[in-house]
């Protein structure tokens, strides 16, 4: 097989795999979220394996496949989310930026493109995007409440669920910028984890770095402090902006906290079942992430992974 034939085969495999994962995300409620998170993986992998041109060809071929079986909105969602990550992440990885920086740069680029797209949409249609998001959340709450009602939940129990959903909806409308940012970062991390497994199997020459050594820049703590105090400002716009910044910064420190935990898991050879239980606790008990974030912050002063400090324990 010639190099050109190999690249054409990579484009076919990458585009079919990406389209399949993304269509599962679009057409399979709830369950489809899982394959949707990993939709960028084929494009990232084949971009690193066969080059930038192959990655661009996969994006174009996937867009054509989606256009043939779905509506234009589906193609647009793919381009604004999956395609950007598929092209940006391998671009930074081949420049030896490491896994953490590559994710940060990719998420930043994706956010810029989303902001440009949102501004263009608002300019050309005259629509209030924030109002549309608020309406979309309200519709989702109404649909969910209807499902609960059809399932036989009525009376005070249904009202309590509706009140809880309305409170959650109001919170989502308030913090959706930070939710989008954190979600993009999570997608990047998950795709990088899969990529690390693939790279080790096929001996793909890519520098990802060692996660257990991950550490945020020390000055980031001042942004955390500034955002915390800014939430006390009575002006609504300032406090909302501060809340969104605070959520993103706390997410970054949660990553550092997880890196500290990973370091000690490996250091003391913690059994796999304990690691699995710990992961489940983090998934089903969101407040545990606050403790992990606090661990990441205190690592600035405790420097828990320092060999000298470990020797003094």
Q: What does the domain layout of the chain look like in residue ranges?
A: 1-123+179-208, 210-313
The pLDDT of residue 160 is 83
CA–CA dist 184, 80 (Å, integer):
11
CA–CA dist 162, 146 (Å, integer):
10
DSSP 58-98: HHHHHHHHHHHHS-HHHHHHIIIIIIHHHHHHHHHHHTT-H
Report residues of the chain scoring pLDDT below 70: 1, 307-313
Of 2.60.40, 1.10.1760, 2.60.120, 1.20.1280, which CATH number belongs to 1-123+179-208?
A: 1.10.1760
The pair of three-digit structure tokens given for residue 60, joined into one six-digit string: 């174009």
The pLDDT of residue 312 is 34
CA-based torsion, 78, 79, 80, 86: positive or negative: positive
DSSP 173: H
Contact in structure between 305 and 295 (CB atoms under 8 Å): no
Look-up of token digits 């998420």: 107
CA-based torsion, 299, 304, 102, 289: positive or negative: negative
pTM of the model: 0.87
The pLDDT of residue 1 is 67
Distances in Å between the Cα of 128 and the Cα atoms of 141, 173, 274 are: 20, 14, 48
The pLDDT of residue 308 is 59
How far does Cα 241 stand from its chain's mean position?
20
């Amino acid at each position: 097989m010639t190099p050109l034939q190999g690249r054409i085969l990579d484009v076919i495999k990458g585009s079919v795999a990406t389209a399949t994962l993304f269509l599962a995300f679009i057409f399979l409620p709830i369950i489809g979220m899982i394959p949707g998170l990993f939709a960028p993986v084929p494009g990232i992998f084949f971009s690193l394996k066969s080059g930038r041109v192959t990655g661009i060809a996969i994006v174009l071929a996937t867009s054509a496949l989606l256009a043939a079986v779905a509506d234009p909105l589906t193609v647009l969602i793919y381009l604004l989310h999956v395609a950007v990550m598929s092209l940006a992440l391998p671009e930074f990885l081949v420049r030896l930026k490491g896994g953490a920086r590559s994710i940060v740069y990719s998420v930043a680029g994706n956010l810029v493109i989303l902001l440009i797209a949102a501004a263009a949409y608002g300019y050309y249609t005259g629509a209030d995007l924030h109002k549309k998001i608020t309406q979309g959340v309200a519709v989702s709450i109404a649909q969910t409440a209807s499902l609960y009602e059809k399932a036989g939940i009525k009376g005070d129990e249904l009202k309590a669920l509706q009140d809880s959903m309305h409170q959650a909806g109001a919170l989502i409308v308030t913090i959706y910028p930070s939710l989008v940012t954190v979600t993009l970062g999570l997608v990047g991390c998950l795709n990088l984890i899969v990529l690390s497994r693939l790279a080790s199997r096929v001996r793909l020459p890519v520098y990802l770095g060692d996660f257990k050594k991950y550490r945020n820049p020390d000055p980031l703590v001042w942004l955390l402090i500034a955002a915390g105090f800014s939430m006390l400002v009575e002006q609504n716009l300032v406090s909302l902006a501060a809340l969104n910044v605070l959520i993103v910064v706390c997410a970054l420190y949660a990553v550092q906290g997880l890196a500290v935990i990973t370091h000690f898991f490996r250091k003391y050879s913690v059994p796999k079942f304990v690691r699995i239980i710990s992961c489940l606790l983090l998934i089903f008990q969101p407040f545990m992430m606050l403790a992990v974030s606090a661990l990441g912050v205190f690592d600035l002063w405790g420097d828990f992974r320092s060999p000298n400090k470990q020797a003094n324990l």
